[in-house]
Amino acid sequence: MKEWPSDDGEEYVAAVKACVDAITGKISPEHFRKILLRAANEAGIAALAVVHQGLEAGQLAQPSQQQR
């Protein structure tokens, strides 16, 4: 957030506070992500989302036998 386009937006200020809260464990990473995405939207920054289909929340995909 050092080179953010604008540092006076309401969502930016909320994201800076949320960053500290996430680091100290006061909020979850998922909650921080939502706040950060709102700040990015406010600043006109595009954000990409990666969706892992077929996985339950919190699971990481395991490489297939061919990929090993």
- Domain positions in the chain are 10-48
pLDDT at 68: 46
Coil/strand/helix, residue 60: coil
pLDDT tens per residue across span 1-52 = 567 887 789 999 999 999 999 999 999 999 999 999 999 999 999 988 787 6
pLDDT at 3: 79
Q: CA-CA distance, 68 to 11, in Å (whole number)?
A: 43
| Tokens read off for 9 | 């937006």
pTM, two decimals, is 0.66
pLDDT at 2: 67
Find out whether 11 and 38 touch, Cβ atoms under 8 Å: yes
Find out whether 61 and 52 touch, Cβ atoms under 8 Å: yes
Give the residue among 43, 31, 6 at the shortest CA–CA distance from 17: 31
